[in-house]
Amino acid sequence: MKIGIAGYGKMGKDIFSFLFDNLNNAEFTVLIRSRPEEHTTAVMKTLDKQLRRKKLTDEEYEAKKAAFKFTFDTAELDGCDAVIETISENLEAKNSLFRNIADKVSDNCLLLTNTSSLNIKQVFEGISNPQRCLGMHFFYPVKLTEFVELNLMDNTSKEAIRLAESLVKEFGRKSICFYGVYHVYLNQILSAMISHGIYLCEYFHTSVPALSASLEKMYSVAGVFDIIDSIGLGLMADNQSNFSLKRNKQLLGYGCERMNQWRSQGCADSPHSFLEFISSQEQGDTENCDDAPIYMAAFILAETSFALEEVGIKPDVFLEAVSCTLGTVDTLPEMYRKYGAERLKSALDKLYETSGFASYRYDPDLLEKYYS
């Protein structure tokens, strides 16, 4: 198999590194803007180190050396079975790149966008043979995430879906398919959860550090505000308005507004800047927020109960994907049993009363149906 990676920023590097390590029989062509020799040298240093440490045999080392190349010429993507686009979240740039690539590859080559928020149909607008086009969204860091989102258009062919699912399985991850307004749903709920966490600071009259401490035991690796810190405030704020689900628009808008306030107050857009900034800003007295885990679980359960009713995905697969993406210690049914229906519904009622956000509406029958 020959795979193209179009773009070599933070995400492109991570995807290439992961696939290069886990697809031993694949060849890679990486499309970059400049300095192919520099990137080639960096990869060779890694391979040399793996050889010295006996993580690669001589035969494996020679095979890996011949299995990749960097180029700034899209014509060298000719012969690829799949091309994964990983450039920044700019609709015009992504569409232009795919128009260029589509003319250089075969009609059967899968065209895959890693967009985390943009309209998939618009990304591929005007592309020939659109049945080969779909979203393949990886979460960062790739090596620590179990699921890859496949975001399908109405005219994505069954063969393209089969090939994409097979590719994801081959590199050791699980795929989950979404359509329409549920495109990149896992990223949609992750972003909504972050905005909900921001709103809980206002609701409880508490600080980000205090709320983060209250929620700490809910998450296995990174909590709500750790995710903002890892991704960067700029990217988090800029992506909020692109999502399609109407019921979370108000909540996401609130989160976006608050994040832009932090930016205007001096927080850098770059990763690993937010937590240091916020700890310097919020040092006053805070009110008790011990019940924050109930309020966080209530939102997650209400939102996913509506989604489960509409996405057409097996509940066990869907719930595993959500739990893995959000990084919760408990499964969603375990949350429901831990906090109880009455406390969860009471939390949602209070949140809706104070905010008016549609995200805090719920259907008690759906909660019972999927979580009892």
In the chain, the domains with their CATH numbers are: 2-183 (3.40.50.720), 186-371 (1.10.1040)
**How far apart (Å, rounded) are the C-alpha atoms in residues 293 and 297?**
6
Torsions phi, psi for 183 (to 5 deg): -50, 145
pLDDT score, position 244? 87
Closest-CA residue to 210 (of 285, 317, 151)? 285
Q: What is the mean pLDDT of each run of 10 residues along the chain (372 residues)?
A: 96 97 95 93 96 95 96 96 96 97 96 96 96 97 94 97 97 97 96 98 95 96 94 88 90 96 96 94 84 98 98 97 97 98 98 98 98 94
pLDDT score, position 221? 87
Per the structure block, which two tokens stand in for 7? Answer: 């773009």
pLDDT score, position 34? 87
Say which amino acid occupies 144: L
Torsions phi, psi for 148 (to 5 deg): -120, 130
In angstroms, the Cα distances linking 223 to 23, 218, 229 are 31, 8, 10
pLDDT score, position 238? 86
Which residues neighbour 206 within 8 Å (Cβ) at sequence distance 6 or greater?
Answer: 200, 214, 286, 287, 288, 289
**How far apart (Å, rounded) are the C-alpha atoms in residues 213 and 208?**
9
Tokens 């359960």 sit on residue = 301
pLDDT score, position 258? 96
pLDDT score, position 286? 82
Per the structure block, which two tokens stand in for 135? Answer: 């979203």
